[in-house]
Structure 1
């Protein structure tokens, strides 16, 4: 048994996850009833990630700000620009593709008991209120905007603290990071449980009637990941972008695909940033911020499902309105929560642009929940892996301008 564990630990984490994925699929298909108890492994894994992530963010950011030396430059401005640009372009791609391949959908019930925001102003107001949320409540509810705000304030206040206090915070931050590494070690078992749950609970049959919608939705996401994002990366680092793109997909996107939560994937992204050799002062802020506002996948979902409703109702859309929708989907996406299905409740806001009644818009949300097993998985994989991609891109761009060599480690 000891030799078996030794050989297992010699295998890369990505390969371990792939093995867990294959075993999960086989068990779910061959012995579905016998595999059901293993679903708890997925719940435990996601639960552990979600539990540790708020504490990790709080202490990492506090430590980074408190220890920050005057004159040390971070890349936060460049990263935020990349976040906004990536989200807008994703929404624009979805709008264009939806016009080239218009989709009609069968509206369904099932989301009537959910409450959607009343408009963009309400979305932005919620974001601002999250900034001043009670710090304990922010940690409890995994409100990362609030956690970031309080961590920044506390870190700044601690800049004049004694070295002993700063060392304590840094040691605590390192201890939490080590706990995260322990949790990630169980990723193969967690992914196996999540796969079994996904297949056993949702199946494939419910998705078949929405094949064309899923093809447009997932096709847009693949285009963003494999074409749009690489162009953005190349424009900044001036070298082949695909090693970095594929590394982010393998080591962040795969895990995010199954956890279906950008918030739960924060620890995974932090670990990847460390492996890429990025500045801890920067990524300790940019990664949790990205889990809240960098939502390219959500922009695609909002645009595609909104225009599917538009085509179904035979509403005419001019070019100006299409451009406004691209901007609106990006703004709404930034207001989507980093949890499973967070973007779907922003669809009524976009539908209101075309005068679509809220009761009809909520039926579109119902469609979103039906295809959510795939839609939300792909969406989260793009959202979360892009957080690392753009954080690394900004830093590598800085190194290129300084004449330093850019080295991108291959996925393990």
Structure 2
């Protein structure tokens, strides 16, 4: 008797409301019964693992199907999205540099990071990306290497375009089948968020964040400024309409999930479903979203810039305008390759620190601090990165539709 009304309530309640309920329940559990939080951590781990497992397969079949079934002359909007990705990442780096200059941060450089190896330069980062593109397709799928997945999916799609209609139909059906599995996984998001929130808040390491309060204020403040001011301004420039309804909707549905999963690749299925619900062009978002999860890294640009300048300020190094401008460019280029380097954006900090002549030993101490504050830093950075993928994709599609309507009128 009780199960039927409960099932009816769940089916009639929106997924966002269910996720909010899971969020609140996780917070309450962590605050009231922190010792019980570890018991529900499996829910979060299962959810993230399921998303990571299905995402590479989904991207491969979705991109292959979109290209194989693409009709000659049918418009796509990849180029303007790539322009928005570049503008957004560079603007984020500028915001971080300005914020760090207005509110300089000094760090207690005592511990060193061990067991991690940063890239030797931008050339190594770009080299990693190039080799990722020609990776073995099976290995690319297993390691969620989206550059390699996209390269193979595009190649297969172009090859299958010349094949029979039956083959293209099979690929299309496979794509729809994987998307159905994704929708089923996403319906478990409330339980996943519940487990992730409870485990994160109950983590004793969060106490260590207090000693880095100023750094976190500058870092997270910069990330929020990009999300709530810079990105909306870019969307307004592109669409010529009020950006905030779209911005808040995407932050609520994509940003919150990415915040707790702390994985851009795990959030790819979520973003693809949002694009589908928004009615965007499938040939566009099926490529733009997985590509954005690899190269659209505004949050990483902010992290690299803020922590690098914090190291410079700690050592009393004066940063002139040209060096700050160069840091913006280096942080933007490096951020695009962050996902191709083990350790993400934090391991690219020594590369940026080299601009100021900071020794690698000191830079690695900054990396160690990055790992300490990673609970909030990585969560907020991923939320900005992943939600921006959907935002800029939607903005480009909306702008293209508006331009087409004006031409028809």
Moved more, 217-226 or 200-209: 200-209
Rounded to whole Å, the distance in 1 between the matches of 2:340 and 2:372 is 19
With over 3 angstroms needed to count, the CA separation of the structure-2 counterparts of 1:242 and 1:44, relative to structure 1, is: same
2:7 partner SS: helix
Match of 2:357 in 1: 355
- Alignment-derived partner of residue 58 in structure 1: 60
- For residues 189-241 of structure 1, give each alpha carbon's deviation from its aligned partner in whole angstroms, at most 9, with x where no partner exists: 00011112212224531100000000000110111011111110011111101
- Deviations for 1:381-403, whole angstroms, at most 9, x for unmatched residues? 00000000000111111111112
Task: Note if contact 1:67-1:166 (Cα within 8 Å) is conserved in structure 2.
Answer: yes
Q: CA offsets per residue over residues 345-379 of structure 1, 9 Å max, x none?
A: 11111111111111111110100011110011110
Assess if the C-alpha contact under 8 Å between 2:206 and 2:375 holds in 1: no
Unaligned runs of 5+ residues in structure 2 are none
Task: Compute the TM-score of the two structures, normalised by the length of structure 1.
Answer: 0.96
The aligned residue for residue 189 of structure 2 is: 187
Distance across 1 between alignment mates of 2:364 and 2:198: 29
Which residue in 2 is equivalent to 1:373? 375
1 CA distance for matches of 2:356 and 2:18? 47
Deviation string, structure 1 residues 63-103 (Cα, Å, up to 9, x no partner): 00000000011000000000011000000110011001000
What corresponds to 1:319 in structure 2?
A: 321
2:211 corresponds to which residue?
Answer: 209
Residues 294-332 of structure 1: CA deviation (Å, up to 9, x unaligned): 000000000000000000001111100000000000011
Match in the other structure for 2:148: 146
Out of 59, 67, 70, the residue aligned to residue 68 of structure 1 is 70
Change (3 A) 1:391 1:339: farther
Report SS of the residue matched to 2:266.
coil
User: In 2, are the aligned partners of 1:341 and 1:369 still within 8 Å (CA)?
Assistant: no
Q: What is aligned with 1:169?
A: 171
Q: CA 1:20–1:341 in structure 2 vs 1: closer, same or farther (change >3 Å)?
A: farther
- Structure 1 residues 108 and 142, CA gap change in structure 2 (3 angstroms): farther
CA gap 1:340/1:14 in 2 versus in 1, 3 angstroms: farther
Q: Deviations over 1:143-166 (max 9, x none)?
A: 000000000000000001111111
Distance in 2, matches of 1:402 and 1:185, equals 36
Give the total of aligned pairs: 405
Please state if 1:19 is matched with 2:33. no
Counterpart in the other structure of 1:280: 282
In structure 1, the residue matched to 2:248 is: 246
Change (3 A) 1:340 1:127: closer
Equivalent residue for 1:102? 104
Instruction: Output the CA distance in 1 between the equivalents of 2:152 and 2:180.
Output: 23
In structure 1, runs of 5+ residues without a counterpart are 406-412
User: 1:132, 1:150 → 2: CA distance?
Assistant: 8
* Pick aligned residue for 1:301 from 303, 324, 335: 303
Task: Say which SS state the counterpart of residue 204 (structure 1) adopts.
Answer: helix
Q: Give the CA RMSD over aligned residues.
A: 1.4
CA 110–2 in structure 1, closer or farther in 2 if over 3 Å, else same: farther
C-alpha distance in 2, partners of 1:338/1:273? 25
